[in-house]
Each structure stands twice: as structure tokens, then as C-alpha cells.
């Protein structure tokens, strides 16, 4: 890192402090804004969202650091994809929290990456029941409502029925 890259101290939601280089921290649009707001790199940046725990922030920072490295070295897409793929392979809980954190911190490519993971999981499910089982969602429809939703998408439903 260059000399003009001071360390920023982040305070996670569960009150742990993490020091990271400014160049990494500013990859989050929100942290960047907060640093610019105070104008003081020595001030502790509090992360007020529930998702930003030490555990999750460590993962987010790992992602940011790795991608900063990729950008600096001009790594192959293959290498990046491999890292991203591995990064996606986590428990639901971590993926869920990472999505919230990425959304809160406004880190677009991380959010997209994790959303893609969820979408892939949805694609694996053949029926709405599968999806509910997979994501542990309670069905809040009456049979009539199910029919109504089906009716709202006839152009797609007929095709899927084939």
C-alpha cells in the first residue's frame, strides 16, 4: 500500500474495533462517506447495522482486500471467479448476514455476488414447496390465493406445466 494510506478504525456492531487501510475501507460507499463527513481518518467509524458483527465484518474485509489485490495485480477472471465461488460457499446464516452487511455498507459487487448465490439456490428448487423448505419460509397463502397468484402469471405457468 502507498504511504498516504492511513489506517481507519471501524467499530463493529458488537463493539469490536478493526483497523483496515483507508483504500480498503473506502470501497464501501457508506464508510467512504462517513470518513469524508468527519474529515478525520483517526476518528472511529461506528457501524450501526445489526449485521455488521465482527465475524461478518472480517469476511467482508477479506473480500474487499482480496478484490483490491485483484484490481492492483490485474488478476485473471478465472482466479477472481474461483475466489468468489469459494466465498459464496457458506452457511445460510453467514450469507444472509453478508447480504445485509453488503447492502448496508453499499458494496455493490459483494451484494451482487451473494444475491447470485441465493438465486442459484432458488433455481435448484423445483417447486414453491421446495423453496419454502429450503429457506424455511412459512406459507401464508390460502388455496384461493395460490390460484390467484397462478392466474396472475398464466403466460408463464402454462409453459412450465409442459
Partner 1 sequence: MAASSSCSWTALSTDIYVKIFSQLSPHDTPRCALVCSYWKNAANEDSLWRGFCGSHSPPFVWRGEPERTALTTWKNLFKARDTCFSDRVGKKRAISLPLRMQGGYVRCMVVEEPFLVCGSENGMVTLFSYEKLRASFDGMKECKPLCVIKEQSQWVYSVCAQIKEGNSSHPSILIASGSRDMTAQLYEVSTKDGVKYKHEILNVFHGHKDWIAHVSWTHDRNALISAGNDGMLFVWDFTKKKERGMVQVETGIWQKEDEIVLSKANDTVEIVNYVKFERVRRIQFGDELDFRTYGCFVSFVLPSMVLAGINNSVVAMNAAGEELYKVSGMETWLLRISEDGQRQLGHPADVDADIGEATELRAVRGSVEMFDLLRLSCRTRRKLPPSMCFINSRAAASGGTRR
Q: Does 155 bind partner 1 (CB under 8 A)?
A: yes
Phi then psi dihedrals of residue 9, to 5 deg: -105, 125
Grid-cell match 485483484, residue found = 70
Which one of 89, 143, 144, 162 is in contact with partner 1 (CB under 8 A)?
A: 89
Contact 106, 28 (CB under 8 A): yes
Q: Does 93 bind partner 1 (CB under 8 A)?
A: yes
**What 3-state class would DSSP assign to 154?**
helix
Q: Does 90 bind partner 1 (CB under 8 A)?
A: yes
Q: Which is nearer to partner 1, 16 or 108 (CB)?
A: 108
Q: Which is nearer to partner 1, 2 or 160 (CB)?
A: 160
Q: What are the CA-CA distances from residue 38 to residues 45, 68, 104, 105 (Å)?
A: 9, 24, 19, 17
The footprint of partner 1 (CB under 8 A) covers 89-93, 95-97, 99-100, 103, 111-112, 115-123, 125, 127-128, 131-141, 145-146, 149-150, 152-153, 155-157, 159-160
Amino acid at each position: 500500500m502507498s504511504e498516504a494510506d492511513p489506517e481507519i478504525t471501524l467499530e463493529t456492531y458488537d463493539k469490536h474495533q478493526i483497523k483496515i487501510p483507508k483504500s480498503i475501507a473506502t470501497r464501501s460507499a457508506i464508510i467512504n462517506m462517513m470518513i469524508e463527513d468527519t474529515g478525520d481518518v483517526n476518528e472511529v467509524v461506528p457501524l450501526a447495522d445489526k449485521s455488521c458483527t465482527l465475524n461478518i465484518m472480517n469476511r467482508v474485509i477479506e473480500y474487499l482486500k482480496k478484490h483490491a489485490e485483484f484490481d492492483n495485480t490485474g488478476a485473471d477472471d478465472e482466479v477472481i471467479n474461483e475466489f468468489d465461488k469459494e466465498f459464496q460457499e457458506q452457511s445460510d446464516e453467514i450469507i444472509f448476514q453478508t447480504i445485509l452487511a453488503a447492502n448496508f455498507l453499499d458494496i455493490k459487487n459483494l451484494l451482487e455476488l451473494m444475491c447470485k448465490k441465493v438465486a442459484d439456490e432458488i433455481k435448484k428448487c423445483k417447486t414453491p414447496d421446495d423453496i419454502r423448505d429450503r429457506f424455511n419460509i412459512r406459507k401464508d397463502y390460502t388455496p384461493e390465493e395460490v390460484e390467484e397468484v397462478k392466474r396472475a402469471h398464466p403466460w408463464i405457468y402454462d409453459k412450465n406445466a409442459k
